[in-house]
Amino acid sequence: MMRWVLAILLLSAASPAFAEERDYCPTRPGLGTTPCTIAPKRVSVETALVDWTLDDQPDARSDTVLIGNTFVRVGLTNSIEAQIGWTPYGNVRTRDKNTQAIDTAGRAGDVTLGMKANLLNPDGSKLSIAVQPFATVPVGRAPVGAGDWGAGVVVPATYDLSETLNLASTSEIDAKVDEDGSGRHFAYSEVIGLEVKLSKTLSATIEGQVLRDEDPGGRTTQGLASASLAWSAQDDLQLDVGAVAGLNRAAPDVELYLGVSRRF
């Protein structure tokens, strides 16, 4: 199986890098990602201007605010793009409900390096599938950074049910850093979503996610639900807003975010 995947990637890399024009397809908003790639010689900068997450557990409440979480995609060929992501600043405030002690930490986050190779329809039309391997570099420190390197593979796929409905799936397998920052463990997730085009420039997406984390310090299964809106203000500019709700006790209670994506 791996030989076939490598052969497809090599064929994709060998395709001519002509600058074809295609609709802008940012990876945000939402829980999943898109299989479409940025056309060669184009760059997409996608930023969460602000992202707040509340995790209210029986023993502690944690508020996490990320500022300027940015993901950059660079088109290399007709079906391959390079990726780099970084969180320049995050603030985590934790209150112990037993002692009422409050701990606050402001940190930079880790850097993510990756690439995406589209295997079918790089513009994201009809049935589109991609493979996206990545690695995280421990630039930041806990609790915003993971404290060690990690890696994973994402396989996004979309299918146009009609001119206004698009079905999406994002599968992910990770070698995730342990909670104590030493060593790695197995984690995996699945996202299923439905995008509805409300108009030529406005779309809404609803998603559900199940995430299994095999951390030695405590294995968990999280259920999440998400709703988001994306507005194409211009051909190369998108604004978005979204909310995520936890469906079980292991998941964070709520996440709210506001973002912008710009193609150059």
Range of the domain at 100: 2-263
How far apart CA 174 and CA 226 sit, in angstroms, is: 21
Number of helices (H) and strands (E) in the chain: give both, helices first. 1, 14
Vertex 167, ends 240 and 75: CA angle to 5°?
60
How far apart CA 51 and CA 145 sit, in angstroms, is: 15
Non-local CB neighbours of 167 within 8 Å, separated by 6+ positions:
158, 159, 161, 192, 193, 194
Q: What are 103's two structure tokens?
A: 């701990």
CATH number, position 245? 2.40.160.40
| Dihedral angle sign, alpha carbons of residues 227, 151, 187, 177 | negative
Note the pTM of the prediction, 2 decimals: 0.88
pLDDT in tens, the chain (264 residues): 434 433 433 444 444 444 457 999 999 999 999 999 999 999 999 999 999 999 999 999 999 999 999 999 999 999 999 999 999 999 999 999 999 999 999 999 999 999 999 999 999 999 999 999 999 999 988 889 988 999 999 999 999 999 999 999 999 999 999 988 888 999 999 999 999 999 999 999 999 999 999 999 899 999 999 999 999 999 999 999 999 999 999 999 999 999 999 999
Q: What is residue 141's predicted lDDT score, i.e. its pLDDT?
A: 85
How far apart CA 169 and CA 181 sit, in angstroms, is: 30
User: What residue has token string 């290399």?
Assistant: 76
What is the total count of domains within the chain? 1
Q: What is residue 20's predicted lDDT score, i.e. its pLDDT?
A: 58
Non-local CB neighbours of 261 within 8 Å, separated by 6+ positions:
24, 26, 28, 44, 45, 46, 47, 237, 238, 240
Q: What is residue 16's predicted lDDT score, i.e. its pLDDT?
A: 42
Q: Strand 184-197 relative to strand 165-177: parallel, antiparallel, unpaired?
A: antiparallel
